[in-house]
Structure 1
Amino acid sequence: MYMDMDRMRIGIKRWLVAFIVVAVAGLASRGVAQPQVPCYFVFGDSLVDNGNNNDIQSLARANYLPYGIDFPGGPTGRFSNGKTTVDVISELLGFDDYIPAYASARGQDILRGVNYASAAAGIRQETGQQLGARIDFAGQVNNYKNTVAQVVQILGDEASAADHLSKCIYSIGVGSNDYLNNYFMPLTYPTSRQFSPEQYADVLIQEYTEQLRNLYNYGARKFVLIGVGQIGCSPNALAQNSPDGKTCVDRINSANQLFNNKLRGLVDTFNSNSPDAHFIYIDAYGMFQDLIDNPSAFGFRVTNVGCCGVGRNNGQITCLPLQTPCEDRNEHLFWDAFHPTEAANVVVGRRSYRAQKPSDAYPYDISRLAQL
């Protein structure tokens, strides 16, 4: 009798210990959930810059209010009232904090990725030079090479670094400024006289391809190529070129689409010739078309004017320091004359991560890329 009771007590104790171990393990796993990829690297311009221009001699800076008015950290250098598309994507990928800017990334932080984007930067070296210092696409790739050397040092050898980097996602969103702050500024840049829109797109793609090869040679294997949005529908373009201030500028958008079509083709080329890598294309142009064509379906009411900053013809492109912005910014597609609001960035970021239409991503979306 007493022996049976002892055995029962021992059994109960063992069951309790096992239960507690399982319960604690479950809580721990939920508390420290791992992101879907170990790291996320970002290359681009002001649409995704999160502070790399803050301390350089540039007019293209956003580290002051009202920029960041709705961002938890206040003004950080993001050209929006809140989050950018890559902030949204990083959340969806499971990162518990935003990817740090190259200018401030230190130590172990670089193992989860770095944001190299720079406002006013383009594919071409001269793009955006009228705004002062900026880090062009080639310069951003060179900064990434410096990061790779640090990753090798932290992980101990090149093989470990290569394995780590091969699992990361590399997001590239450049090209907008090559039109906005180059080709369609004929008084400042000669490119529109040197190249037809078709030729110019070819030149950009050629230089873009060179940098993709550099990234591949330094460990990148999962690429997200983001198309140029509808620059011809930005408040700045409407203020300069639209007779009614609402009709998008076809000649600008047509040039953008030439570039996008070639960029989408580049995905096929690289996927065919790089069997150990994966390339996808994100149709930001088409997503913005949806927002402009049917704004109310996404909660937007104003699509042709920013919350602050209107356009060159009005003398104001970006938000002025401490300017009071509109109160209904969730109903505005654009924050200033060029850049979307957080509300718009959330829509584009979510559809980039998980496509809502077949055309959103090709051949598949970021959520699928993360699993490969």
Structure 2
Amino acid sequence: MYCESKIWLALSLLFVANYNQYYVHAESKVPCLFIFGDSLSDSGNNNNLATNAKSNFKPYGIDFPAGPTGRFTNGRTTIDIITQFLGLENFIPAFANTSNSDILKGVNYASGSAGIRDESGGNSGAHISLGLQLENHRVIVTQIASKLGGLKKAKQYLGKCLYYVNIGSNDYLNNYFLPEYYPTSTIYTYEQYAEILIQELTLNLEALHYVGARKYVLVGLGSLGCIPLRISDGSCFQPLNSASLIFSEKLKSLVDQLNNETSINSKFIFVNSRTSAVIDAKGFTVKTVACCAFGSYGECIHDQRPCPNRREYVFWDENHTTDAWNKVIATIFYNSSYPDSTYPMNIKQFVEQNIKMESEFIKEFISQSNRLYVDE
């Protein structure tokens, strides 16, 4: 029994040492954050691609400390602001710019014009689809395994990280509702297409699970028919809103389904981008017009002077929102108590719940080891 108690004590000390290494030294609520998505989250992965979906030039980044970086807004993206809420010291680097970065803190794989389906967004040029983003993540996982001493330790570490997946807009904007390039709308109904997207997304989530992901934030689609590029005569394009809403409803149902699958030992939450269509927009006086002068794809024109009162604008260009609006949405994702906005809980509750569970496990683990030691 004495030998057993020493083993328990040694294990408990080792466990606490590992916990201290990954948690106590930092004030962040998660040790790392991995980001998958499209231009709403891209922070520079498209800069060197042959594509029209680029934003590494002025006036993009006019309110970002580093200037134009490849973010499709004047300042921070929604996930940049959530990163700050989580207490992470720095913004998560783009996969294309990880050479001198601490990949143990996370990587951003998002790519402008990317979709769940490989072909979505191809009309704009080269992009990194969700499937290719996962391939890039496997490269990073291999590097993390090398740093931590093996794939098993890497998976244990990655299981503590937050995985943010915000994708699907281009499967509608630059696929289903672009019949001059894609036949999708002639093949599938709204319902059928949403189901196909959910099935493919689920396969990608399973692939993430295989390499260690356990905590996911899945982001629903916004009111895509209400972006300036799709507004006509002051009215939203309702067919696009209706189709994308079906996807979001199925995504929310998927969260329930996956949370009930106890065998996968993972947790999911759903956050609702569509909130932007109905929340109080006090202070935003311009809601349907872009802040910057825009070109044929709705992007800002190089070096053109944007609106001076951009804090009052919802939209930065014809497709993307301003830093000011992104802060509103990030705050909803992180703090909202409304189930229509965050389900079954918000991001803050999600990460704090995990911290509490891990803390209680540690206390119980140490308590057991101490009881065994005292018994001897």
> Shared topology, TM-score over 0.5?
yes
Which has the larger displacement, 348-357 or 210-219?
348-357
Q: Is the 8 A contact 1:44 1:121 kept in 2?
A: yes
1:263 has 2:251 as partner: yes
Q: Partner of 2:124 in structure 1?
A: 131
Q: Is the 8 A contact 1:108 1:154 kept in 2?
A: no
SS of corresponding position for 1:64? coil
Q: Is the 8 A contact 2:293 2:306 kept in 1?
A: no
- Alignment TM-score, normalising by the size of structure 1: 0.86
How much does 1:356 deviate? 4.4
Q: Is the 8 A contact 2:337 2:345 kept in 1?
A: no
Alpha-carbon displacement from aligned partner over 1:7-52 (angstroms, at most 9, x marks no partner): xxxxxxxxxxxxxxxxxxxxxxxxx742111100000000010000
Alpha-carbon displacement from aligned partner over 1:333-369 (angstroms, at most 9, x marks no partner): 0000000000110011111111143321100111122
Q: Give the Cα–Cα distance (whole angstroms) in 1 for the partners of residues 268 and 119 of structure 2.
A: 27
Alpha-carbon displacement from aligned partner over 1:199-226 (angstroms, at most 9, x marks no partner): 1101111110100000011100000000
Alpha-carbon displacement from aligned partner over 1:224-260 (angstroms, at most 9, x marks no partner): 000011110000000xxx2x22x22211100010000
- Judged with a 3 Å threshold, the aligned counterparts in structure 2 of structure 1 residues 309 and 274 are, in CA distance, closer, same or farther, namely farther
Q: Is the 8 A contact 1:101 1:116 kept in 2?
A: yes
1:97 to 81, 90, 114: 90
Q: Give the Cα–Cα distance (whole angstroms) in 1 for the partners of residues 339 and 260 of structure 2.
A: 21
1:317 to 289, 298, 303: 298
The letter for the 2-side match of 1:300 is: F
Q: Give the Cα–Cα distance (whole angstroms) in 1 for the partners of residues 118 and 53 of structure 2.
A: 16
> Structure 2: which 5+ runs fail to align?
1-24, 355-376
The letter for the 2-side match of 1:224 is: V
SS of corresponding position for 1:103? helix
> Structure 1: which 5+ runs fail to align?
1-31
Q: Partner of 1:8 in structure 2?
A: none
Q: Give the Cα–Cα distance (whole angstroms) in 1 for the partners of residues 125 and 262 of structure 2.
A: 37
Q: Partner of 2:269 in structure 1?
A: 280
SS of corresponding position for 2:314? coil
How much does 1:56 deviate? 1.2
Alpha-carbon displacement from aligned partner over 1:148-200 (angstroms, at most 9, x marks no partner): 11100001122321121000000000100000011101111100001111111
How much does 1:108 deviate? 5.9
- Judged with a 3 Å threshold, the aligned counterparts in structure 2 of structure 1 residues 200 and 112 are, in CA distance, closer, same or farther, namely same
Which has the larger displacement, 168-177 or 106-115?
106-115
- Alignment TM-score, normalising by the size of structure 2: 0.85
How much does 1:88 deviate? 0.4
Q: Which has the larger radius of gyration?
A: 1
Q: Partner of 1:305 in structure 2?
A: 289
The letter for the 2-side match of 1:254 is: S
How much does 1:309 deviate? 4.3
Q: Partner of 2:308 in structure 1?
A: 327
Q: Give the Cα–Cα distance (whole angstroms) in 1 for the partners of residues 36 and 109 of structure 2.
A: 5
Q: Is the 8 A contact 1:43 1:115 kept in 2?
A: yes
Q: Give the Cα–Cα distance (whole angstroms) in 2 for the partners of residues 52 and 360 of structure 1.
A: 29
Sequence identity (%): 46
Alpha-carbon displacement from aligned partner over 1:127-154 (angstroms, at most 9, x marks no partner): 1111111000000011111111110000
The letter for the 2-side match of 1:268 is: D
Q: Give the Cα–Cα distance (whole angstroms) in 1 for the partners of residues 64 and 130 of structure 2.
A: 26
How much does 1:295 deviate? 2.1
Q: Partner of 1:222 in structure 2?
A: 215
The letter for the 1-side match of 2:260 is: S
Q: Partner of 2:317 in structure 1?
A: 336
- Judged with a 3 Å threshold, the aligned counterparts in structure 2 of structure 1 residues 199 and 333 are, in CA distance, closer, same or farther, namely same
The letter for the 1-side match of 2:307 is: C
- Judged with a 3 Å threshold, the aligned counterparts in structure 2 of structure 1 residues 173 and 316 are, in CA distance, closer, same or farther, namely closer
Q: Partner of 1:345 in structure 2?
A: 326
2:338 to 357, 364, 369: 357
SS of corresponding position for 1:370? helix
Q: Is the 8 A contact 1:42 1:117 kept in 2?
A: yes
Q: Give the Cα–Cα distance (whole angstroms) in 1 for the partners of residues 66 and 101 of structure 2.
A: 21
Q: Output the aligned Cα RMSD.
A: 1.5
1:157 to 146, 150, 154: 150
The letter for the 1-side match of 2:311 is: N
1:295 has 2:281 as partner: yes
Q: Give the Cα–Cα distance (whole angstroms) in 1 for the partners of residues 109 and 62 of structure 2.
A: 23
